[in-house]
Amino acid sequence: MNTSIMLHLLKMKKYERAKVVKKILDKYYPETPIPLDHKDIYTLLIAVLLSAQCTDERVNKITPKLFSLAPDPKSMSKLSTNKIYKIIKPCGLGPQKSRAIKKLSNIIINKFNGEVPRTFKELEKLPGVGHKTASVVMSQGFEIPAFAVDTHIHRLAQRWGLTNGKNVKQTEKDLKNIFAEDSWNKLHLQIIFWGREHCTARSCYGLECKICKKCYPKRTKPFVHKKP
């Protein structure tokens, strides 16, 4: 068997695993509510920024107080950085996040007439907004196809054989190539939900959950992840 045929077969196997993954996720999570509480795209942006290295649960406990004082860029820009920091401190990385929230709110007012920009290029220029945060805002806020990949999704994609595991950027590219564009926004949330409930970082290890067993029924040793 020549190399091109072997590569083709390997590719087909990956797509078959992708079908298994999507079928199970659609069954378990037909609805995908956004786990971060928000009222509009601006508050979604702030909530996603706060969620870096912090649980959604903790963010949802903190944002009601923050948004009661400042539900929009104009009111947020009037708060001192120290005031913002005191509220968001439990989220971790408080100094950096409070400065970013203050600065990006000013930029949104002065450069975008108070509206959150709706392109990756403009979003990723905002302080504290990386590609993953921009992807969540684009997909869940503006409903523009994007596949937000964090370390959790990167880990699961490795366990399920959907990526070579080199880095988060490569995983995003691999997932976009494997799944239809119109499924990206929902799949991002479905994979997050599955990882939290069935295939956590400190359990399963590619051996126990239904998806891992379906994708690799003969796997007997814990899967060794490649760091992002």
Looking at the fold, whether 136 and 57 belong to one and the same domain comes out as yes
The pLDDT, as a whole number, for residue 82 is 97
Q: Are both 170 and 211 inside the same structural domain?
A: yes
Burial of 43 (C-beta count, 10 Å sphere; 0-12/13-18/19+): buried
Does residue 214 carry a catalytic annotation?
Answer: no
**Domain match, 126 and 151 both:** no
pLDDT over 70 at 4, yes or no:
no
- Active-site position among 132, 176, 186, 226: 132
160 domain-assigned: yes
CATH number of the structural domain spanning residue 192: 1.10.1670.10
Q: What pLDDT sits at residue 202?
A: 87
CATH number of the domain encompassing residue 111: 1.10.340.30
Residue 71 domain boundaries: 41-141
6: pLDDT strictly greater than 60: no
- What's the Rg (C-alpha) of the chain? 19
- Rounded to whole angstroms, the Cα distance separating 113 from 13 reads 49
Comparing CA positions, the residue from 20, 227, 99 lying closest to residue 12 is 20
Among 22-36, 120-134, 157-171, the minimum mean pLDDT is found in 157-171
Domain count, the chain: 2
Measured in degrees and rounded to the nearest 5, phi and psi for residue 166 equal -65, -45
206 shares a domain with 120? no
- Is residue 228 domain-resident? no
Same domain, 109 and 54: yes
**Are residue 94 and residue 178 in the same domain, yes or no?**
no
Region 141-167 average pLDDT: 93
Q: What is the mean pLDDT of residues 91-104?
A: 96
Say if residue 208 is in the same domain as residue 128: no
* 155 neighbors 195 (Cβ within 8 angstroms): yes
| Domain end call among 113, 141, 169 | 141
pLDDT at 8: 47
Q: Which of 37, 65, 83, 150 is catalytic?
A: 150
Q: What is the pLDDT of residue 228?
A: 63
Alpha helices in 79-144 (DSSP H): 81-88, 94-112, 120-123, 131-136
Three-state secondary-structure class, residue 166: coil
- pTM of the full predicted structure? 0.90
> In the listed set 88, 110, 141, which residue is the last one of a domain according to the structure?
141
163-218, pLDDT tens digit by residue? 987 899 999 999 999 999 999 999 999 999 999 999 998 899 999 999 999 999 99
Residue 228 contacts residue 167 (beta carbons within 8 Å): yes
- Positive or negative torsion for Cα 104, 107, 109, 111: negative
Which residue among 141, 165, 187 closes a domain?
141
The answer to the question of residue 7 being in a domain is no
Evaluate whether 42 touches 114 at the Cβ level (below 8 Å). no
Domain-embedded: residue 5: no
**189: helix, strand or coil:** helix
- Residue 225 falls inside a structural domain: no
30-71: pLDDT as tens digits? 999 999 999 999 999 999 999 999 999 999 999 999 999 999
Active-site residue, 150 included: yes
CA 29/CA 22 separation, integer angstroms? 10
Residue 115 is assigned to a structural domain of this protein? yes
